[in-house]
Amino acid sequence: MDMQSSLKIVSGDILSRFLDKVSDDPRICIAHLGLFAVLLKKWSEQGGEETLKIFAAQAMVYAKISSSNTYHRLIRELNEYGYLVYEPSFYKRKASLIRFIMD
């Protein structure tokens, strides 16, 4: 099996587990789902390494989020709710770090 096929299987598994978990979580809205899907896509594009490096503007475009306040609220909530680990960089030229929780 090639690397790309393996990444598709792993990302599909992460997405499936995420959707199973959020189905019973009333705090999660469609915007959280869209952002999580975009982050997973970007993670796969970067080769599926342990940590995703991403700038807010990159994710916002794909997730159709126009406000940076909304983006930061959603990503912080996904972190607080235990769906991913978010390490903001606080520097414009340095990407934030995101790790998916795979349990």
Q: How many CA atoms lie within 13 Å of 88's alpha carbon, on the beta-carbon side?
A: 11
**pLDDT, tens only, 79-96:** 999 999 999 998 889 999
- Compute the distance between CA of residue 42 and CA of residue 55 in angstroms, rounded to an integer: 11
pLDDT at 4 exceeding the cut of 70: no
Using alpha carbons, select from 96, 46, 40 the residue that is nearest to residue 72: 96
- The torsion angles phi and psi of 87, rounded to 5 degrees, stand at -120, 95
Q: Which CATH number fits domain 3-100: 1.10.10, 1.10.287, 1.25.10, 2.60.40?
A: 1.10.10
Residue keyed to tokens 């990302």: 11
pTM above 0.85, yes or no: yes
Q: What is the mean pLDDT of residues 16-28?
A: 94
Q: What is the pLDDT of residue 7?
A: 66
Q: How far apart are the first and last CA of the chain?
A: 24
Q: What is the mean pLDDT of residues 37-44?
A: 94
Q: Where are the domains of the chain?
A: 3-100
- Compute the distance between CA of residue 75 and CA of residue 87 in angstroms, rounded to an integer: 10
Mean pLDDT score of the chain, rounded to an integer? 91
Residue 3: helix, strand or coil by DSSP?
helix
Phi-psi label, residue 28: left if phi above 0, alpha if psi -120 to 50, beta otherwise? beta
Q: What is the mean pLDDT of residues 25-37?
A: 96
Least confident of 47-51, 58-62, 70-74: 47-51
Least confident of 12-16, 43-47, 54-58: 12-16
